[in-house]
Amino acid sequence: MTGYGIFSTPGTAPRTGVQVNGQILDLAAATGDPVHATGSLNAFLAQGPAGWAALRERIAHLDGPMISPAEVTMHLPAEIADYVDFYSSRHHAENIGRIFRPGSPPLTPNWTHLPIGYHGRAGTVRVSGTPVVRPKGQRKPPEAAPTFGPSLRLDIEAEVGFVVGVPSALGESVPVSAFAEHVFGVCLINDWSARDLQAWEYVPLGPFLGKSFLTSMSPWIVPLADLEAARVRPPARDEPLLPYLDDADHPWGLDLAMEVRLNGELISTPPFAGMYWSAAQQLAHLTVNGAALRTGDLFASGTVSGPERDQRGSLIELSWNGADPLKLADGSTRTFLEDGDVVTISATAPGAGGTRISFGEVTGRIEPAT
């Protein structure tokens, strides 16, 4: 067993399924429980760890319709409540700092003290496969007035997403020790980014229209409960952590091996295990001011980049802002995305008993601007 998702077959309503031995078990039919017939995981997510564990136990003994993945359409797995995106790969942050802020230190002074993030747009989080229509907006050539038009620097960001099940009250904080009491599971995210729009608009309030046009999410959510074998200790931190971020007793690094493909060709293998800030620290930081969590909240890790060139999770890094184009197997080169390009991000992680868990994929094809 691995992920939970929302599927339909031709002529039937979207409902909850769970992956069992490469097939999909129809949980609405197998359990008769209306919670699994709503077309979203939210009601199940809200049940919390006891409900999640009880179903997991039951699935091992359930008989029900098993459906081939080839026969289904996958839907957005949850109604997304709020969406937050962090910036927790040191390699990514240093690369972007060097590209966007040459002449300044690559990391801002706050970076090693807190997980930097921004609130994104929940309503434009869509399921894998949703067409990526090239966004339009303002971009400013150097030494010239701003112009308006389709983004000329459309990019990807390979990320890992965390889906909240159990809400928290306004005024309450969720400590790193309570991470698994609130977060149900893990998915893959592509935080599509228009670098030309972003570079012009982001000062001083951060990413806005350059990232809000679409965020793609993989259809399967792998429960944290299945990821015990993937847990690793995050890298040593440069600065002493404030107590609310101290994760020494609750390490939530995860050893996901990610793969990024452009038109089928493997262009990067970002390692998630090296992320500086863990998802448990991100959640503690997100709520330390008393901000409430809601069922269906999604927060993403930030672009996952490793120390090597072929471990970078975005094209702006892989092509060094276009200065060093990526060479593709067919002899062509790429700086940023072209219309018709297909980008697919996948990942696996160690599972129980030496197995490997697959996170499936998040994919999207670039369509011309309208």
Ligand X SMILES: O=C(O)/C=C/C(=O)CC(=O)CC(=O)O
Task: List the catalytic residues.
Answer: 92
Q: Which of residues 58-97 bind Ca ion (CB under 5 A)?
A: 85
Question: Taking CB under 5 A as the rule, which mask of x and - marks residues 206-225 in contact with Mg ion?
Answer: -----x---x----------
Q: Count of residues binding Ca ion (CB under 5 A)?
A: 3
87 binds, among Mg ion, ligand X, Ca ion, none (CB under 5 to 8 A by kind): ligand X
At its nearest, how many Å lie between ligand X and the CB of residue 96? 4
Q: List the one residue from 191, 196, 247, 317 that touches ligand X (CB under 6 A).
A: 191
At its nearest, how many Å lie between ligand X and the CB of residue 246? 23
Q: Which of residues 135-194 bind Mg ion (CB under 5 A)?
A: 191
Q: Count of residues binding ligand X (CB under 6 A)?
A: 13
At its nearest, how many Å lie between ligand X and the CB of residue 288? 20
State yes or no: residue 318 binds ligand X (CB under 6 A): no
Q: Which of residues 53-82 bind Mg ion (CB under 5 A)?
A: none
Q: Which of residues 190-229 bind Ca ion (CB under 5 A)?
A: 191
191 vs 247, beta carbon nearer Ca ion: 191
Are 349 and 223 spatial neighbours (Cβ–Cβ below 8 Å)?
Answer: no
Q: List the one residue from 15, 36, 92, 139 that touches ligand X (CB under 6 A).
A: 92
State yes or no: residue 157 binds Ca ion (CB under 5 A): yes
96 binds, among Ca ion, ligand X, Mg ion, none (CB under 5 to 8 A by kind): ligand X
55 vs 194, beta carbon nearer Mg ion: 194
82 vs 191, beta carbon nearer ligand X: 191
State yes or no: residue 128 binds Mg ion (CB under 5 A): no
Q: Kindly report the three-state secondary structure assignment for every residue of the chain.
A: CCCEEEEECCCCCCEEEEEECCEEEEHHHHHCCHHHHCCCCHHHHCCHHHHHHHHHHHHCCCCCCEECHHHCEEECCCCCCCEEEECCCHHHHHHHHHHHCCCCCCCCCCCCCCCCEEECCHHHEEECCCCEECCEEEECCCCCCCEEEECCCEECCEEEEEEECCCCCCCCCCCHHHHHHHEEEEEEEECCEEHHHHHHHCCCCCCCHHHHCCEEECCCEEEHHHCHHHEECCCCCCCCCCHHHCCCCCCCEECCEEEEEECCEEEECCEHHHCCCCHHHHHHHHHCCCCCCCCCCEEECCCCCCCCHHHCCCHHHHCCCCCCCEECCCCCEECCCCCCCEEEEEEEEECHHHCEEEEEEEEEEEECCC
State yes or no: residue 153 binds ligand X (CB under 6 A): no
Rule CB under 6 A: which residues touch ligand X?
A: 85, 87, 92, 96, 100, 157, 191, 193, 202, 207, 211, 302-303
